[in-house]
Amino acid sequence: MELFTKIDIPASSIRINYTSRIAFFGSCFADNISAQFAARKFSVLANPFGTVYNPVSIAGQIRAIADGKVFGEKDVFQDARGLQDVRGKQDARGPWYSWDAHGSLSGATREECIEKLNEAAKRTREFLKQADVVFITLGTAFVYYLKDGDSSSVGNAHGRAVANCHRQAPALFERRMITVEEAARALENIVRDLHRLNPKSHIVFTVSPLRHMGDGAHNNTLSKATLLLAINSIKQKTMDSIGSASLQNDKASRASTGYFPSYEIVMDELRDYRFYADDMVHLSKTAEEYIFERMAETYCSEKTRADIAQVEKLMRMANHRIADPESPATHAFAEKILAQAGELEKKIPGLDLSEEKQKFRETTLHVRG
């Protein structure tokens, strides 16, 4: 008896194993799924400029990375909300932000903020040059545009698209839902710029199943439909599992671009509210783990899935709470973890358990001391 509709996911030529380098860009769903890979000790880069929800802003971030942009004074601004004294003089204590990045890259000074941006850009550029797979998770088709922005810098008459508003005054922005054509153009730019950095990297688009209920149920549906139509448009025009003729003629493009149905899995397979968190919007850990399992089925070989199971078993042991750090039992437990970690690293190419081994080496030294 079939009790739910299972989404059929076409076979993929993309293969992920422990030698793979995997990057994630996009909404908080990208953070959540990348954490599933990281917890199983895959090499992961996740949202180096913070969460970003719309395709235009993602495209802007990746373009800056591909161009080798060096951030400077014109790329940051100071938060002046409520920072004027009774005489109207500016108080210089406000943090500095970038419209292109999350608040986690802010700085107490202009120089600190710029330094964080350039460090993130350099680290991301080096990772993407060697990335095997890049997952792009689209959350919404609504975009905030800075009214006084330099429209020439983004090729849009509505002003500069911002990745984060940093709680600035709403009057500074125009917020609108982009068209399917605008979204598709952003996706084309993402593919082009990622392949400029690394012609061999595979790109997988997915749409976040998390609903943006602040826009209302109908607008959320229209927003998700816009993203899905844009991805479908790109696939029809320039993408399939082996690359279209136009891409094959472009020596900069030698890798596949695909789609993973995260949105459809949640809407059809996990439609029950028991798969949601308490806010009834975000997904539960069970749902996130299930989506990871479907991704592993799609992109990992049977051997790699067996490797994942062994790593999961070791990590459950390694994350076990130690009640008495100085007991002989703790020493024996630490030695067991160290031995098993070493064996797994020999058995699974690319697996790096150095963090866990260091932790338990320190435990054994503590017990001996």
Asked if pLDDT for residue 173 goes beyond 50, the answer is yes
* Predicted structure pTM score: 0.89
The count of other CB atoms within 10 Å of the CB of residue 181 is 12
Helices 328-347 and 354-368 cross at an angle (nearest 10°) of 160
Q: Which of 187, 289, 297, 164 is nearest to 237 (CA)?
A: 187
Residue 287 near residue 276, CB atoms below 8 Å: yes
Encoded amino acid at 323, one letter: A
Maximum mean pLDDT: which of 91-100, 104-113, 140-149, 155-164:
104-113
Give dist(CA 168, CA 17) in Å, integer: 43
Measured distance CA(148)–CA(159) in Å, rounded: 7
Is pLDDT above 90 for 52?
yes
Residue recorded with tokens 């997904």: 283
278 or 204: which carries more pLDDT confidence? 204
For residue 108, the SS3 value is: coil
- Residue 277 CB partners (closer than 8 Å, separation 6+): 283, 284
Mean pLDDT over 284-305 rounds to 96
Query: What DSSP string describes 294-344?
Result: HHHHHHS-HHHHHHHHHHHHHHHHHTSPPS-TTSHHHHHHHHHHHHHHHHH
**Mean pLDDT, residues 147-167:** 67
Chain position carrying tokens 């350039």: 118
Region of poorest pLDDT, from 142-156, 169-183, 219-233, 355-369 = 142-156
Percentage of the chain with pLDDT > 90?
Answer: 70
Compute the mean pLDDT over every residue in the chain, rounded to the nearest whole number.
88
pLDDT of residue 92: 53
Q: Which residue has the tokens 């839902």?
A: 177
At 18, is the pLDDT very low, low, confident or very high (cuts 50, 70, 90)? very high
Nearest to 194 by CA among 159, 150, 239, 144: 239
Q: In what helix (H) or strand (E) does residue 160 lie, and over which residues does it extend?
A: strand 160-162
- Say if residue 119's pLDDT is above 60: yes
The answer on pLDDT for 160 being more than 50 is: yes
Instruction: Read off the pLDDT of each residue in 33-55 and give the average, rounded to a whole number.
Output: 97
Band of the pLDDT at 271, cuts 50, 70, 90? confident
| pLDDT value of residue 257 | 85
For residue range 121-135, list pLDDT tens digits in order: 999 999 999 999 999
Average pLDDT over residues 264-286: 84
C-alpha to C-alpha distance for 358 and 337, rounded to whole angstroms: 11
Assess contact for 264 and 7: CB atoms under 8 A: yes
Residues 347, 305 contacting (CB under 8 angstroms): no
Cα 50 to Cα 155: distance, rounded to the nearest angstrom: 23
Query: pLDDT-derived band of residue 273, with 50, 70 and 90 as boundaries?
Result: confident
Q: What are phi and psi of 202, to 5 degrees?
A: -85, 145
Task: State how far Cα 325 lies from the chain centre.
Answer: 36
Cα-based torsion angle of the residue sequence 191, 194, 200, 205 in order, rounded to the nearest 10 degrees: -50
Q: Which two tokens stand for residue 276?
A: 């949601």
